[in-house]
């Protein structure tokens, strides 16, 4: 039966659901999305994707998820693997692979000499790009660094100006040119789409990393959280990088757009890294990090010393709202800073080497047993000392009695061997009786 189950789990869920349950899917990130079969929803919330050889689903409207076994069990209201497999056998008879997918036709692939284009764009005045990025809220100093490093270029194409980002790999080789229309919403990529980052040297040993969809969102995170944070931009909502890129991170912070594609990519991150902590960056109802940056509720960046000072003030403050206003912070962000400081303090204390072991406190089971044996030995010694002390006391009493008898004999006084020397009163009483 296990072989049969594994075979069903490898069945294409998109094709299966489209044919037997009438679901119409659209491509979304690395998977597909459709309206939930478990209820009515305005926005499609039913995601399907292939992970390895298996197909999995996740329905955000109901919270259900799993493989085709779980899905058919919920849809048909069946309990027991046997009943589900029997129903699957019925559905699988005559199963065809024609699927109505609403996919956009892929653009004709073109090959560009990106190095030649880069050299041509490099000659253009980048001032329009400078004004554009600053108007998007990007920190001026960071913008100047990008222009100086040759990562921001001005592409003037068909009467329109584009802010063009040079995307390089970890070896510094140019991969593509990511273009953003300065006076409009247009975007396009020249070359092979690749991950953008200014942190290639730090990604391999970073403990946490931010992930955004676009380069401007990536730069927005640098502006809000500081240039020292480590992250990547996907140039979309598909995970186009090898999982090993973030293998050293213990925490991955998703700053992906709060839309269908971003949600799908977030689920992909959780499946890519089941052993890591994947969290969502608080966008406060904004679509993306740049929207948060320009919304006026951007978080004020604090230095380490300022964070410590804020933490101390937080501990002694009776009015937390006033404290947040005084520091120019959003209250929820202030609580986030306080929690981060506490976590760092705990982590610092946990990493310290233990000092001298407290007295009478075993550190292991072996130490505890040894301590019990030591206590037994001490108790035995105390018992022997107590017996010796009692014997010594009895011996001294006998010595004292014999000393009194010897003195009585020496003085010629009568004595009783059982009770000891007779007192004078006892002698007088005996003399009176004789009379």
Q: What is the pLDDT of residues 324-334, one digit of tens each?
A: 767 766 666 67
Q: Of 160, 191, 222, which residue is a domain's last?
A: 191
User: Do residue 275 and residue 317 come from a single domain?
Assistant: no
pLDDT > 70? residue 168: yes
Domain span at 311: 304-350
Tokens of 226: 């500081």
Examine residue 38 and state whether it is found in any structural domain, yes or no: yes
Could you give the CA distance from residue 150 to residue 145 in angstroms, rounded to a whole number? Answer: 8
User: Do residue 225 and residue 166 come from a single domain?
Assistant: no
Residue 391 vs residue 328, higher pLDDT: 391
User: Do residue 207 and residue 280 come from a single domain?
Assistant: yes
Q: What is the CATH number of the domain that holds 261?
A: 3.40.1360.10
**Lateral strand order in the sheet of 160-168:** 152-157, 160-168, 174-181, 187-191
Could you give the CA distance from residue 435 to residue 432 in angstroms, rounded to a whole number? Answer: 5
User: Do residue 205 and residue 269 come from a single domain?
Assistant: yes
Examine residue 173 and state whether it is found in any structural domain, yes or no: yes
Q: What is the CATH number of the domain that holds 59?
A: 3.90.580.10
User: Do residue 173 and residue 214 come from a single domain?
Assistant: no
Examine residue 51 and state whether it is found in any structural domain, yes or no: yes
pLDDT > 90? residue 233: yes
User: Do residue 154 and residue 226 come from a single domain?
Assistant: no
Per the CB < 8 A criterion, the answer to whether 15 and 251 are in contact is no
Per the CB < 8 A criterion, the answer to whether 274 and 280 are in contact is no
Q: Of 191, 224, 240, which residue is a domain's last?
A: 191
Question: Which pLDDT value is given to residue 96?
Answer: 42
Q: How many independent structural domains does the chain possess?
A: 5
Examine residue 395 and state whether it is found in any structural domain, yes or no: yes
Examine residue 372 and state whether it is found in any structural domain, yes or no: no
Stretch 177-181: mean pLDDT: 95
Examine residue 374 and state whether it is found in any structural domain, yes or no: no
Return the closest-CA partner of residue 151 out of 182, 172, 181. 172
pTM of the predicted model, to two decimals? Answer: 0.51
User: Do residue 53 and residue 85 come from a single domain?
Assistant: yes
Examine residue 105 and state whether it is found in any structural domain, yes or no: no
pLDDT > 80? residue 353: no
Examine residue 433 and state whether it is found in any structural domain, yes or no: yes
């Amino acid at each position: 039966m296990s072989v049969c189950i594994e075979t069903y789990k490898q069945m294409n869920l998109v094709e299966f659901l489209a044919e037997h349950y009438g679901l119409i899917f659209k491509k979304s990130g690395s998977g597909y999305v459709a309206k939930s079969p478990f209820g009515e929803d305005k926005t499609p919330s039913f995601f399907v994707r292939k992970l390895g050889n298996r197909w999995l689903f996740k329905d955000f409207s109901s919270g259900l998820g799993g493989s085709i076994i779980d899905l058919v069990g919920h849809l048909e209201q069946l309990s027991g693997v046997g009943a589900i497999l029997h129903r699957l056998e019925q559905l699988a008879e005559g199963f065809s692979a024609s699927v109505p997918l609403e996919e956009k036709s892929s653009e004709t692939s073109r090959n560009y000499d990106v190095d030649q284009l880069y050299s041509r764009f490099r000659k253009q005045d980048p001032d329009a790009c400078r004004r554009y990025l600053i108007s998007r809220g990007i920190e001026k100093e960071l913008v100047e660094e990008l222009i100086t490093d040759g990562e921001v270029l001005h592409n003037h194409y068909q009467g329109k100006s584009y802010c063009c980002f040079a995307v390089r790999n970890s070896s510094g080789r140019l991969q593509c040119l990511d273009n953003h229309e300065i006076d409009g919403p247009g975007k396009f990529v020249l070359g092979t789409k690749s991950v953008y980052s200014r942190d290639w040297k730090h990604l391999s040993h970073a403990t946490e990393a931010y992930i955004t969809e676009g380069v401007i969102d990536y730069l927005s995170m640098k502006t809000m959280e500081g240039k020292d944070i480590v992250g990547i931009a996907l140039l979309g909502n598909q995970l186009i990088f090898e999982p090993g890129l973030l293998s050293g991170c213990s925490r991955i912070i998703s700053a992906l757009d709060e839309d269908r594609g971003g949600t799908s990519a977030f689920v992909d991150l959780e499946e890519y890294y089941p052993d890591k902590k994947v969290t969502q960056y608080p966008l406060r109802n904004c679509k993306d990090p740049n929207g948060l940056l320009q919304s006026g509720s951007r978080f004020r960046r604090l230095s380490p010393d300022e964070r410590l000072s804020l933490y101390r003030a937080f501990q002694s403050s009776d009015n937390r709202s006033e404290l947040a206003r005084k520091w120019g912070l959003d209250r929820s962000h202030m609580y986030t800073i306080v929690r981060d400081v506490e976590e760092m303090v705990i982590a610092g204390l946990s990493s310290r080497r233990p000092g001298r072991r407290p007295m009478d406190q075993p550190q292991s089971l072996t130490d505890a047993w040894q301590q019990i044996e030591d206590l037994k030995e001490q108790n035995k010694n105390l018992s022997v000392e107590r017996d010796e002390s009692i014997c010594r006391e009895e011996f001294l009493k006998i010595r004292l009695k014999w000393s009194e008898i010897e003195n009585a004999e020496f003085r010629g006084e009568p004595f009783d061997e059982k009770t000891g020397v007779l007192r004078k009163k006892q002698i007088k009483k005996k003399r009176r009786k004789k009379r």
